[in-house]
């Protein structure tokens, strides 16, 4: 496939906000892709040159892409940047400059670039480092641009800037693959287990194209490839936890009431407010990944040393929570302090001044054997067996509790120590990669007059300010949640409080880098903000309660010929607590399902 054909598919994807149409376009694209290029097409659709966990960023700044455009299209860097300031999108700049060039068509016809050639060139750019690397990257980009038409140039330059503007989520890509190769998007479920255990959409696509569904289902856990994290549901109090874990009807649950679990109790560990870190050990090599699949290995040298020193296995995969630790006061620090360790520079100095401790609460693989299908009780014994006690990796196998009163005491004790709360698990549950169900439940501190928990929202757009806020450019934020069933973002509130003047300016600055001129793909909204932005910025929000509202689309709000069938869900008196997009993707925001459960926990009908 030529890159120009792929670019035309990107053009169609960018122009639609309908998820069903996105799936149709992707399906048609994947049908035309052969086995040697389908993985590369999948990565490029994500704006990548490899899976998300590979620490391979093209990482070119606006000014460097502008320099490449200037040389390729007979302009100057200054004029390119001036046009960029006007249009706000380097892709549109590339398209406009290309259209102005005369006598370029014959050159394009003589050397049309294939998808594989463009992918390989971009990957080489990403791998280029050292002295003179900026100039080499600019030259390589320029040489590719010289052989592209206007639409190809538009979508091509967005890739090294990490801004494809396609708005496609992983479930939508899986739907497209299932439709194209298995003939039915409902068969996506057959692909999800392999994706959750490999975290590599390109691998899924190539394996499916080459070997069919049977080959995909043989894919399994490998050290060095992160497993998608299992996540928690919410319940309001210890009594509800015991009721739910004894009498759950959740189809995803590995146990039913008939198993007799009620007499066995529940498993509980303190809930630490830090980074979710998945640790992979392979001999003398240690890699670490965030819950967003980001490679964090270079950030935490002390955890590498601790893993090599403490893990008594040749190969292992551990699930842990890493927190900043203050040696002088012997206390764990708040999340805001821990976030200071996410950095690219001065890492050794920060490791000394703000050391991390990793609480290992699960073990998923050891010495060539996957443990995810083993019951939790077995995995907890394996933690004690394979992790030597020391001061960096701290085994956290938890405790078995038999009554709600015991759980309440543990919750109170955790909160008194400055921790977030408690995580409760079914004692015989498997590790469900990428799953979120009532096998795992979180209990957090409660504030009178407020929700039992905060809500992680995604900023979808902003409305212009009035009065003093005209200085900030944004007066209120339109925020939403993730609907994992529909793979779309739905609105839940407008927020105008909780930000300082400086934060208003900062959010306006950040939002304008990802603003779009139409409602983004996968956004379901009845409201129209002054400015739409791509759903990328995650914020933590506290509200008094959850209410029903015909203005918002979270939940069952749908439009039909007679108006709204039912009102959606909304947050009452919401205010911003903090930004969370450094450790959470938009798809990691609170889901509609979670919000509905929180609403029911309020005792409302």
The residues carrying an active-site annotation are: 271
Judge contact between 202 and 42, C-beta under 8 A. yes
DSSP state of 257: G
**DSSP classification of residue 70:** H
Which of 259, 193, 591 lies closest to 426, judged by CA?
259
The phi and psi torsions of 114 (rounded to 5 degrees) equal -85, 160
Contact between 202 and 39 (Cβ < 8 Å)? yes
Q: What angle do CA 382, 387, 392 make, to 5 degrees?
A: 145
C-beta contacts of 216-220 below 8 A and 24+ residues apart:
216/190, 216/191, 217/190, 217/193, 219/194, 220/194, 220/370
Strands 563-564, 559-560: parallel, antiparallel or unpaired by DSSP? antiparallel
Query: How many other C-beta atoms lie within 10 A of the C-beta of residue 327?
Result: 11
Nearest to 144 by CA among 25, 60, 208, 240: 60
Measuring CA to CA, which residue among 273, 262, 272, 271 is closest to residue 400?
Answer: 262
**Residue 153: φ, ψ to 5°:** -60, -40
Quickly list DSSP for 147-165. T--HHHHHHHHHTTTT---
Return d(Cα 393, Cα 304) in angstroms, integer.
10
CA 132 to chain centre: 33
Q: Identify which of 133, 130, 11 has the alpha carbon closest to the alpha carbon of residue 60.
A: 133
Please count the other Cβ atoms lying within 10 Å of the Cβ belonging to residue 262: 14
Alpha helices (H) along 16-61: 19-32, 38-45
Residue bearing tokens 């609480």: 359
Across-strand partners of 323?
A: 357
Element (DSSP H or E) covering residue 356: strand 356-366
Burial of 349 (0-12, 13-18, 19+ CB in 10 A): exposed
Helices (H) and strands (E) in the chain, counts: 22, 24
Task: Select from 169, 39, 22, 53 the least CA-distant residue to 115.
Answer: 39
CB count, 10 Å around CB of 545? 15
d(CA 322, CA 464): 39
Q: What is the Cα 530 distance to its own chain's centre?
A: 26
Contact 267, 427 (CB under 8 A): yes
Per-residue DSSP letter, 591: B
600 Cβ partners below 8 Å, 6+ apart? none
* Gap between the Cα atoms of 412 and 303, Å rounded: 29
Backbone angles phi, psi at 346, to 5 degrees: 55, 35
């Amino acid at each position: 496939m030529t890159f120009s054909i792929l670019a035309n598919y990107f053009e169609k994807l960018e122009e639609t906000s309908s998820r069903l149409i996105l799936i149709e376009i992707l399906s048609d694209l994947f049908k035309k892709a052969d086995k040697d290029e389908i993985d590369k097409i999948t990565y490029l659709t994500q704006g990548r040159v490899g899976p998300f966990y590979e620490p391979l960023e093209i990482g070119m700044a606006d000014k460097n892409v502008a320099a490449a455009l200037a040389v390729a299209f007979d302009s100057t860097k200054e004029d390119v940047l001036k046009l960029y300031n006007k249009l706000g999108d380097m892709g549109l700049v590339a398209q406009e400059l290309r259209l102005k060039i005369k006598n370029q068509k014959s050159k394009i016809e003589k050397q049309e670039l294939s998808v594989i050639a463009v992918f390989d060139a971009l990957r080489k750019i990403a791998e280029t480092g050292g002295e003179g690397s900026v100039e080499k990257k600019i030259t390589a980009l320029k040489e590719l641009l010289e052989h592209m038409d206007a639409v190809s140039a538009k979508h091509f330059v967005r890739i090294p800037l990490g801004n494809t503007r396609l708005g496609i989520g992983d479930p939508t890509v899986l739907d497209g693959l299932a439709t194209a190769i298995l003939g039915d998007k409902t068969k996506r479920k057959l692909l999800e287990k392999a994706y959750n255990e490999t975290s590599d959409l390109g691998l899924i696509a190539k394996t499916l194209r080459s070997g069919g569904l049977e080959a995909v289902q043989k894919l399994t856990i490998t050290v060095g490839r992160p497993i998608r994290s299992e996540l928690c549901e919410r319940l309001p109090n210890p009594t509800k936890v015991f009721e739910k874990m004894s009498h759950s009807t959740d189809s995803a649950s590995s146990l039913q009431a008939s198993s007799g679990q009620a007499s066995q109790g529940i498993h509980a560990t303190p809930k630490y407010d830090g980074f979710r870190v998945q640790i992979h050990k392979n001999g003398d090599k240690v890699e670490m990944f965030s819950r967003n699949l980001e490679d964090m290995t270079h950030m935490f040298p002390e955890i590498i040393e601790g893993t090599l020193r403490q893990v008594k296995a040749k190969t292992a995969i551990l699930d842990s929570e890493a927190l900043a630790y203050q040696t002088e006061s012997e206390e764990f620090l708040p999340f805001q302090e821990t976030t200071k360790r996410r950095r690219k520079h001065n890492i050794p100095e920060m490791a000394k001044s703000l050391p991390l401790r990793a609480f290992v609460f699960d073990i998923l693989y050891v010495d060539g054997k996957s443990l995810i299908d083993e019951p939790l009780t077995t995995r907890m014994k394996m933690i004690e067996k394979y992790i030597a006690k020391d001061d960096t990796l701290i085994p956290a196998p938890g405790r078995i509790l038999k009554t709600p009163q015991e759980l309440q005491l543990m919750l109170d004790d955790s909160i008194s120590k400055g921790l977030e709360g408690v995580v409760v698990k079914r004692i015989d549950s498997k590790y469900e990669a990428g799953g979120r169900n009532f096998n795992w439940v979180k209990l957090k501190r409660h504030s009178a007059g407020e929700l039992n928990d905060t809500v992680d929202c995604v900023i979808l757009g902003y409305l212009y300010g009035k009065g003093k806020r005209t200085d900030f450019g944004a007066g209120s934020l339109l925020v939403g949640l993730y609907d994992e069933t529909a793979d779309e973002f739905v609105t839940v509130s407008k927020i105008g409080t909780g930000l300082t003047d400086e934060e208003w300016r900062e959010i306006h600055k950040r939002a304008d880098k990802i603003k779009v001129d139409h409602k983004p793909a996968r956004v379901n909204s009845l409201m129209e903000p002054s400015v739409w932005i791509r759903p990328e910025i995650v914020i933590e929000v506290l509200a008094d309660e959850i209410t029903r509202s015909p203005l918002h689309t979270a939940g069952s709000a749908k439009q039909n010929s007679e108006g709204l069938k039912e009102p959606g869900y909304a947050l009452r008196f919401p205010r911003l607590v903090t930004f969370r997009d450094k450790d959470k993707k938009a798809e990691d925001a609170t889901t509609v399902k979670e919000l509905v459960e929180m609403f029911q926990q309020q005792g409302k009908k």
